[in-house]
Structure 1
Amino acid sequence: MRRLARAAVVVTAALAAFGTAAPAAAESPTDRITTLVDTYKPEVMNPGGSLPGVNDWGCKPSAEHPNPVVLVHGTFGNQQINWGAMAPRIKDAGYCVYALNYGVNPGTPWPLSAFGGLTRMQDSAQELSVFVDRVLAASGAQKVDFVGHSQGTLMPNYYVKFLDGAPKVDKYISLAPLWEGTDAVGPLAAGTDAAADPVTQAAGELMDRYCGACSQMTAGSPFIEKMNAGGTYAPGVEYTNIMTEYDGTVVPWTAGYVEGPDTTNIVVQDGCPQDHSDHSSLVSSVRAQALVLNALDPAHPVAVPCVAVQPFAG
């Protein structure tokens, strides 16, 4: 989480700086999105908005793809930053695609308001519940499919397991999941010996104030223990976990590799060792995009490319 916090500071400065430059009128917010850095373009060009084709409340699902797809971003992300590469691919495949911003600290101005996934996950799950009901009402669908990244793989399961969400969810696809939590927080985690140090304790308290979700994602936290009590997965929901061995934020990366009924675990390096996608760059990976499409519609698989990818920063 410390890596994510540092990245957020850098990106905040970049968003503020880039936001002062007017984009070319003919340029689409999703033009040339091929890297993680490119995914910040839509937020700069349309602060607080939605990606083209996403959150089209008049979209009616087809018989081939009856479930709307709800994209759930990660910590310090939002619907545009996280999904600028993935959303067009899913939309072009014929799905109705929706995405929400959740967990934004109240009263924060842009560019700080561009960062969500910060409030307690119980509260974010309530936001997700309201959003799913809105999607179902607008689309006329019976269920949605989730595609989530990072915290967006864990928080929705609170909705599924504890807010009566399971009957409304069919497929649950997770990019860089952390079902068993992460050790990346290190000495800031409450209960560690280092956390008793006054400076470290103050840093931990500051993190909890501005990112209530961060400590919840720590391995062994009460939230993680509750989420795994009685089994990680909810009956009746089909789970797919897509992981990378180069994940530097979910530590160890195998925290997302949990066996279960109706569950498929995929490691992007299996069959493609030159793919060094890490926690952040996984959402922009063409290999991950194909794996997501195949999880959404296993009866009509697309080819899964193997491309050499260099890691970003996590």
Structure 2
Amino acid sequence: MLPWKRVLRPLAALLLTAAAATVPAATAAQAADATASSSSGWNDYSCKPSAAHPRPVVLVHGTFANSVDNWLSFAPYLEDRGYCVFSLDYGQLSGVPLIYGLGPIDKSAEQLSAYVDKVLAATGAAKVDIVGHSQGGMMPRYYLKFLGGAAKVNAMVGIAPSNHGTDLDGLTNLLPYFPGAADFLSTSTPALADQVVGSAFLAKLNAGGDTVPGVHYTVIASKYDEVVTPYTSQFLSGSDVHNVLIQNLCALDLSEHALLGLTDRIAFHEVANALDPAHATATTCASALS
């Protein structure tokens, strides 16, 4: 085995382990539940936004995830509150079934652009709100900044987003010492390479400022995040940014990267506040019961 592959093996193992924790495989019962949800609002293209919630919500999954598994808890949470909810698959690599978010992130942003247009055409809404987890909380910023998305998006909410990249607790810092390792990562899983701190993709994305005018940004992070590290790299700078550390709302919340987007109802409550700030209520530990 080439020396750099000895480094990539634990790196890949960590990434895959984190991905597996982030997106558990859907059981037959869960798939049935997702289908039932879709028939009444989740990916129901006959859904028309209400006066109370005039913008459909587009959910954007993370790396190694898909449009169902990532949102089995959160999509129904929004649906029960009267939102039209949609989710897409993006970034599939040829020959890799069921898991997505692996392709070049700029190309994934193009897929998101087409999907938003589809949702707007179906619902008749003027704009959407976007909620994304991990890569899904960062990738839409490319759409907003470079593909005209700012005119079509009201709010961008990132749950544990990789906004400024990750060093995976320092593991990615070893890549430059092993010739060919970075190229191997870029070829095999471009989205992972794009999310490494210091990547060319992130340099382009964040050049000239993190945000674009007209979009309301919210970032929800956990200090226990073990995938996007350091967790402070998730936060954005800008005049219309609300950065939230979940432990400041509830010190007892131990959710890490995966659970923050999958099941954390304290995070869910904060997302709901971001989507409807006029009716926001205080997010506390008690929000886990709401």
Task: Please give the TM-score of this superposition, normalised by the length of structure 1.
Answer: 0.80
- The equivalent residue for 1:106 is 94
Is 1:148 the equivalent of 2:159? no
- The equivalent residue for 2:112 is 128
Question: 1:31-110 counterparts in 2 under 5 A?
Answer: 53-108=41-96
Q: What is the alpha-carbon distance in structure 1 between the residues aligned to residue 243 and residue 53 of structure 2?
A: 23
- The equivalent residue for 1:279 is 257
C-alpha displacement of 1:53? 3.0
Q: 2:15 aligns with which of 1, 4, 10?
A: 4
C-alpha displacement of 1:28? 7.5
User: Using a 3 Å threshold, how does the CA distance of structure 1 residues 291 and 187 change in structure 2: closer, same or farther?
Assistant: closer
Identity score, percent: 43
- The equivalent residue for 1:116 is 100
- Aligned-CA RMSD value: 2.7
Q: What is the alpha-carbon distance in structure 1 between the residues aligned to residue 49 and residue 38 of structure 2?
A: 19
Assess if the C-alpha contact under 8 Å between 2:22 and 2:258 holds in 1. Answer: no
Assess if the C-alpha contact under 8 Å between 2:224 and 2:254 holds in 1. Answer: yes
Assess if the C-alpha contact under 8 Å between 2:253 and 2:285 holds in 1. Answer: yes
With 183-192 and 237-246 compared, the bigger mean Cα shift is at: 183-192
- The equivalent residue for 2:231 is 253
5+ residue gaps, structure 1: 31-41, 310-314
Q: What is the alpha-carbon distance in structure 2 between the residues aligned to residue 286 and residue 180 of structure 1?
A: 25
Assess if the C-alpha contact under 8 Å between 1:172 and 1:238 holds in 2. Answer: yes
Is 1:222 the equivalent of 2:200? yes
Q: What is the alpha-carbon distance in structure 2 between the residues aligned to residue 295 and residue 8 of structure 1?
A: 26
Q: What's the secondary structure of 1:157's corresponding residue? A: helix
Task: Please give the TM-score of this superposition, normalised by the length of structure 2.
Answer: 0.86
Letter paired with 2:271: V
Letter paired with 1:101: D
Letter paired with 2:202: I
Q: 1:291 aligns with which of 270, 273, 281?
A: 270
C-alpha displacement of 1:301? 2.0
Assess if the C-alpha contact under 8 Å between 1:102 and 1:116 holds in 2. Answer: yes
Q: What is the alpha-carbon distance in structure 2 between the residues aligned to residue 275 and residue 185 of structure 1?
A: 21
Letter paired with 1:68: P
Q: How many residues align?
A: 275
Letter paired with 1:255: S
Letter paired with 1:87: A
Q: What's the secondary structure of 1:114's corresponding residue? A: coil
Assess if the C-alpha contact under 8 Å between 2:61 and 2:67 holds in 1. Answer: yes
User: Using a 3 Å threshold, how does the CA distance of structure 1 residues 271 and 144 change in structure 2: closer, same or farther?
Assistant: closer
